[in-house]
Structure formats: structure tokens, C-alpha cells
Amino acid sequence: MINMMQGDCMEIMKQYPDKYFQLACVDPPYGIGEDGAKTQSRRVSCKKWRNPTDSKYKNGEWDKEPPTVEYFNELRRVSKNQIIWGANHFISRIPFDSSCWVVWKKNGNCEGADFADCELAWTSFKTSVRFIDFPWTGFGAVNAGESRIHPTQKPVALYKWLLSRYAKPGDRILDTHGGSGSICIACHDLGFDLTWMELDADYYAAACERYKNHAAQGALFGANEIQEKVYQQAVMI
């Protein structure tokens, strides 16, 4: 079941008992200003990666600061394990060592743009550092067959790669900063129960529409061939 909720994640998490979720996979604000206008300027400066189906993101102010220490405490309370994207920007707020960081190489540097070559995720797992090389570019996700509806959107295949390695059948998954809803599609396709939340009403509505379209398309036509292809490309790495 995919349970998509609009609201403040701190208030919603209070409803759940300790360690209710087996895995929290979250992509909170990094505090680096990636909330609309900055991404718009990159779309102009890096025209070769533009996709005509991309959304024009609204300007916002939700990426001025990363989550508080209280957020991370609550996240660890309700989940047994965590994967936290962007933690290199706010590791002092978590703050625990980890032997297992995930490195995602996006292969997307473009002259005139300043987005990172890679993104990092802190995890609570005790294994070694893991690496995925999956082209995304930060603009069109052309290779993944996805349209972008959110300035910090991550590919569905990336979430499938994470779930295939860090989640087990029957696990309950939590996402506190839902954004584009990519993890909803990944959990739907792989059969995981997901509790997903997004504070912004517009992004919530867009993500719900995206997920519903995917679920309906899958019911009518079977698995999306492009998504399956890019997922298989990812899990082989």
C-alpha cells in the first residue's frame, strides 16, 4: 500500500510507535537553496540537457536550512534503519559515524552550471561504501524516461536500487520529504508498503497525480518498459 499524506512530517511521525518502520529513505532539504529559482537558471545555462516535458519549478524558500536535530532524533525513533540523502551538508545534526555511505554519480556536469558530480547519502547500515553510476544530469532525465516535476527530483531507478539492497520483503518504508514521489513509484513496482509525506500542497498534488498515472498505466499495460530497462541497468552496478 502506498499511503501519501500532506502535512508536517514532525507532526505525522508522532503518530507512530518506536521502530515502526524498517527503513526510512529520506531526501530532506540540504540547506543550499535548491528550491526553484536556482534550478531555473541552470535550465537556461545547460540547454543541451533540457527536456521539453520538464516542469517550470515554482520559486520557494524551503531549502534555506536543513532539518533540525529534533527531526533526526524523531526519524531514528520511528525507524530501525535510515538512508539520508545530502547528509554531507548537515552531518553534525545526525550526528553518527557510518561505514556505509551511498555515492550516486550523476554524470551530469555541464558548462555553466554548478550542480555536483555526485550526491551522498548517509546510512545506518554497517556495510562498506556503495556506489551507483546512473546518468541523471539534473535536468531532463531523458535516459530514464522521466519528466521532472520537482527541482530536487531523484530517479525512480535510484530508489529501486536502494530498496533492492537495503529493504527486505514485507518491510514498511518511510519517506518524510516526498517531493516528486519517485519513491512511491519504486515501492509500488517492487511491492513495498510506503508511508510518504509532503508539506507543500502543490508538490503533493503533482506527486499524487504522477503516482496515480503510473499505477493506472501499469494496470493497463504492464510494467513500464523504460523504467524496467533503467532499473535493470542500475541494479547490475
CATH no. for residue 21?
3.40.50.150
Identify the pLDDT of residue 99.
96
Q: Which residues constitute the domain of residue 72?
A: 2-235
Identify the pLDDT of residue 217.
81
Q: Cell for 148?
A: 521532472
Identify the pLDDT of residue 225.
53
pLDDT under 70 in the chain at which residues? 33-63, 108-115, 137-144, 218-237
Characterize 198-232 residue by residue with b for buried, 16 or more Cβ atoms within 10 angstroms of its Cβ, and e for exposed: bbbeebbebbbebbeebeeeeeeeeebeebeebbe
Identify the pLDDT of residue 226.
47
- Other CB atoms within a 10 A radius of the CB of residue 16 amount to 16
pTM: 0.83
Rounded to an integer, what distance in angstroms lies between the CA atom of residue 140 and that of residue 188? 23
Identify the pLDDT of residue 144.
62
Identify the pLDDT of residue 224.
52
Domain count, the chain: 1
Identify the pLDDT of residue 135.
82
Identify the pLDDT of residue 100.
96
